[in-house]
Amino acid sequence: MKISIERGTLLKAVAQAQSVVERRNTIPILANVLIEAEGDQVQFRATDLDVEVVDKAPAQVERAGATTVAATTLHEIVRKLPDGALVTLTADNAAGRLTVEAGRSNFSLATLPKEDFPVMASSEYQSNFSAPAAVLRRLFDKSKFAISTEETRYYLNGVYMHVADGETGKVLRCVATDGHRLARIDADLPGGAEDMPGVIVPRKTVGELRKLLEDDDMQIAVSVSETKVRFATPDITLTSKVIDGTFPDYSRVIPQNNTRRMEVDAADFAKAVDRVATVSSERSRAVKMQLDQDRLVLSVNAPDSGAAEEELAVAYDDERLEIGFNAKYLLEIASQVDRENAVFMFNSSGDPTLMREGNDQSAVYVVMPMRV
């Protein structure tokens, strides 16, 4: 195999591939990226057996062929090469070496036979549709902060993507929760997605998918089966196993009759919470919210480090309320708001609180209070 490829193109392809590779591997071949050259393009494939990414890039192919080489090493080399350099990759499979040449630099890397590289079994997808990158980016970006990190509740370690009944008909919905907070985001149902089975997309896949969604005008081809999900652009295909478990019935957690309504400027609220939380010794320390007529007082009292208090003007016309929250959760939820105002709906100091952006029903957040 012998190919020449521009450094920027190569870096983009290798970077996407190497981010899937796990740092600590017991199986040596999984630390490698499979490079396959044919026609006028080269493809880079990497996997951790749960997630697989295939990245295609244009190249001058002098000799077709394939080999596998350590993904992180190749990425580091290409990253350190000068901008605009033409990189030549030459594989000598008999000697088990890949030569990387650019300008006056020359590297020789150990390779492993391509036959040992595990390729994810192709499967039949029950549902195939396409959605704009911006729509998918919103669905996953706004929900991923609530993904649980508890390994014991593995079925919460991802975003539940499914078809649901929204205000005006069927919607494509993403939900994530860790038991303390919940995010539920809706988008118009793309054509062809009606029969999609509900799947839990793992956290790592959500992180990798984000890199496919930078370009607003891009259409992403989505394929879903009971066991796998695939997202594809013309250049990159990301295939992942889904979490094998049942996502809990989240609708029971979303409060329906919270009547106490507070409207506040989201950016001001987030900054104020951040400021008062500075004195708390751990991030988990509660922030107390005292609500009165059109006035909110945020306070933190940490016996070992001090106390803080800040007052905000809000729109609130109900009886007095005191309620406590984890500062980190409040910050994360407030930072999701794209519009100016966040609307909080309270019931009592012991009940879950609902938040949405203005009157927008397509993004709903729930956060559990803390005792203060």
What are the pLDDT digits (tens) for 175-193? 999 999 999 999 999 999 9
Q: Which helix (H) or strand (E) holds 293?
A: none
Q: Quote the CA–CA distance of 121 and 201 in Å, as a whole number.
A: 18
One-character DSSP codes across 89-106: EEEETTTTEEEEEETTEE
pLDDT for 123: 79
Torsion 370-157-357-312 (CA) sign? positive
Predicted structure pTM score:
0.92
Contact of 341 with 357, CB cutoff 8 Å = yes
- Rg from Cα positions in the chain: 25
Confirm whether 36 is domain-assigned: yes
Same domain, residue pair 80 and 67:
yes
Q: Which of 298, 296, 291, 295 is nearest to 275 (CA)?
A: 298
- Final residue of a domain: which of 71, 88, 116? 116
122 within a domain of the structure (yes/no):
no
Return d(Cα 372, Cα 365) in angstroms, integer: 22
Residues 191 and 284 in one domain: no
- At 64 the pLDDT is 97
Cβ 141 vs Cβ 133: under 8 Å: no
Owning domain of residue 97? 2-116
Say whether both 11 and 106 belong to one domain: yes
Predicted confidence band of residue 283 (pLDDT cuts 50, 70, 90): low
- 102 strand-pairing partners: 105
CATH of the domain at 281: 3.10.150.10
Give the pLDDT score at 358.
85
Residue 16 in domain:
yes
- Asked whether the predicted pLDDT for residue 28 surpasses 80, the reply is yes
Note whether residue 12 is domain-resident. yes
245 found inside a domain:
yes
Q: What is the pLDDT of residue 284?
A: 57
Contacts for 247 with CB less than 8 Å, ≥ 6 apart: 155, 156, 160, 175, 198, 200
Phi first, then psi: what are they for 82, rounded to 5°?
-65, 150
Amino acid at 108: S
- The predicted-structure confidence for 128-146, as pLDDT tens digits, reads as follows 999 999 999 999 999 999 9
Query: Can you tell me the mean pLDDT for 103-121?
Result: 94
Do 150 and 238 lie in a common domain?
Answer: yes
Listed range (117-121, 231-235, 314-318) with the worst mean pLDDT: 117-121
Summarize the confidence of residues 5-26 as an average pLDDT.
93
Among residues 70, 97, 116, the one where a domain terminates is 116
Q: Per-residue pLDDT tens for 284-333?
A: 578 999 999 999 999 998 877 889 999 999 999 999 999 999 999 999 99
Do residues 102 and 181 share a domain?
no
Count the neighbouring beta carbons within 10 Å of the beta carbon of residue 104: 5
Same domain, 209 and 266: no
Which of 221, 252, 283 finishes a domain? 252
Q: Based on the domain organization, do 90 and 67 belong to the same domain?
A: yes
8 and 109 part of one domain: yes
Domain membership flag for residue 29 = yes
Indicate the residue type of 248: P
Asked if residue 278 belongs to a domain, the reply is yes
pLDDT for the residue numbered 280: 79
**Quick one: which H or E segment has residue 162?**
strand 158-166
Q: Note whether 182 and 212 are same-domain residues.
A: yes
The verdict on 133 and 247 lying in the same domain is yes
- Overall domain count for the chain: 3
Residue 328 backbone phi and psi in degrees, to 5 = -65, -40
Find tokens 């919905």 and name the residue.
173
Q: How confident is the model at residue 25 (pLDDT cuts 50, 70, 90)?
A: confident
- Give the pLDDT of residue 302: 82
Reading the block at residue 132, the tokens are: 């704009």
Q: Average pLDDT of the chain?
A: 94
Of all residues in the chain, the percent with pLDDT exceeding 70 is: 99
246 and 165 in a single domain? The answer is yes
**Does any domain span residue 25?**
yes
> Is the same domain home to 236 and 153?
yes
